[in-house]
Amino acid sequence: MSDDDLPRTLLITLTGPDRIGVTAMLTRALAAYDLVVLDVEQIVIRGRITLGMLVGPADTLEHGAALVLEEAAATARAVAAELGLDVEVTLGAAEHPAGRRGPLLVTVLGYPLRPAAVTAVTTRIAELGGNVERIVRTASYPVTAIEFSVSGADQQRLRAELAEVSVAVRVDVAVQPAGLRGRGTYLVVMDVDSTLIQDEVIELIARRAGREDEVRAITERAMRGELDFGESLHERVALLAGIPESVLDDVRRDVRLTPGARTLVRTLKRLGFRVALVSGGFSAVVDPLAAELGIDHARANVLEVVDGVLTGRVQGPVIDRAAKAAALLEFAAADGIPLDRTIAIGDGANDLDMLAVAGLGVAFNAKPVVRAQADTGLTVPFLDPVLYLLGITREEVEQADADAGVETPAPPVR
């Protein structure tokens, strides 16, 4: 047997009823040998522990590495017997991680998450040459979120094929480099209408003037490609001429935040993120909303008002899809945040440029064309699952609530 064939690693896997001190007892026993810890994972589910530890000989061990590993394996078996746990020990060759692709993080969100969906995702990962090295549940409410650490797969191909799987099995799937998850300052830029809020503000204004149907008709023309956003905005705003400015106060009170919006913003702010709003709507509604939520930047169209009445015109440049992307770039530069640490969230074609320029583009309950072009998408009716795509766990959300003196809603009984 050549030296290359000799065992150079020992994988110890303990499973069974959890108890205090399992990890300490195992490592205390292994400390008698000249070993180094190469990797370790532990999880406890419903009182049952699975502990995996990979060890190898230290550089100072010149001879007898194989014998040391075999003796350590025997020791691990003895510890498992004392603890009443099952054990599996595997002697293997040295690892060569430099040749592997990745790592990537694949996040799966379900409402609910069913075994068939997990099967479909993990099967496709394997078909594309990916190896799932770690699985962690990051949230159980309001959605179930599972995170897979994957090596060996091409990011773009995996993202494209899992997008097809997500539609077929009705779950949301995000694929991103593990490096995106490093803690630090990030910028999250959100659309407002039908994203941060459930409403379209221009329709709320038009409703009070009895012109909602006319505004919607113009919106539908724009969606059919008969008008670009700027043209449609000017036509719709023209229908608002003569409406008292005081109506905007009523509209602000009527606006409904998307479920989870406050939790999303509060948690991001508590964790040091910068947050911005960029809207094709109107500053008269967006600016007070941003102030209420403690948002750092806001940009929206400005309605012209003369003598307390809307003139039917917009002041200044229109906030269209190009302007939204430009705002993201401007806010990132002002905050000193590189583009790969920016996240954009939106639902419509007007958000496409912003989603494309951001480090991570998230389509939220979006039109099919937007979902197809974004990095990932959410189809659940809550905004706070965006947190789980960013590697923020439910525990961190609850801690942010506790720090802010806010009571976290209790999850439903399952």
Q: What is the pLDDT of residues 323-332, one digit of tens each?
A: 999 999 999 9
Contact between 258 and 198 under an 8 Å Cβ cutoff? The reply is: yes
- Please tell me if the domain spanning 6-95 has the same topology as the one spanning 98-181: yes
pLDDT tens track for 223-271: 666 888 899 999 999 999 999 999 999 999 999 999 999 999 999 999 8
pLDDT, one tens digit per residue, over 34-70 is: 889 988 888 888 899 999 999 988 876 556 788 889 9
Q: Which residues pair with 275 in a beta bridge?
A: 188
- Of the candidates 333, 335, 330, 366, the one whose C-alpha atom is nearest the C-alpha of residue 351 is 366
For residues 194-219, average pLDDT: 92
191 part of the active site: yes
What class has domain 6-95? Answer: alpha beta
Catalytic residue (choose from 193, 320, 384, 401): 193
pLDDT on residue 177? 80
Q: How many CA atoms lie within 13 A of 403 on its CB side?
A: 13
> Would you state the structure tokens that stand for residue 172, as one six-digit string?
């949301």
- Residue 339 tokens, joined: 């583009």
* Domain residue spans of the chain: 6-95, 98-181, 187-199+255-306+313-403
Catalytic annotation, pick one of 191, 199, 287, 347: 191
Contact 353, 332 (CB under 8 A): no
Superfamily of domain 187-199+255-306+313-403: HAD superfamily/HAD-like (3.40.50.1000)
Give the model's pLDDT for residue 64.
Answer: 72
pTM of the predicted structure, to 2 decimals:
0.78
Give the pLDDT confidence score for residue 2 in this predicted structure. Answer: 45
Going by C-alpha positions, the residue among 76, 32, 28 that lies closest to residue 54 is 76
According to CATH, the topology of domain 98-181 is Alpha-Beta Plaits (3.30.70)
- Can you tell me the distance from the alpha carbon of 226 to that of 365, in angstroms, rounded to the nearest whole number? 24
193 in catalytic set: yes
Burial of 390 (0-12, 13-18, 19+ CB in 10 A): buried
Is residue 128 a contact partner of residue 158, using CB atoms and an 8 Å limit? yes
DSSP string, 222-279: HHTTSS-HHHHHHHHHHTTTT-BTTHHHHHHHH--BPTTHHHHHHHHHHTT-EEEEEE
Closest CA to 34 of 58, 16, 17: 58
Sign of CA dihedral 103, 179, 50, 125: negative
In the three-class reduction of DSSP (H, G, I as helix; E, B as strand; rest coil), residue 381 is classed as: coil
Query: Quick one: pLDDT at residue 143?
Result: 92
The residues, any chain, with a CB within 8 Å of residue 299's CB and separated by 6 or more, are 276, 277, 278, 279, 283, 286, 319, 323, 327
CA-to-CA distance for 245 and 40, rounded, in angstroms? 62
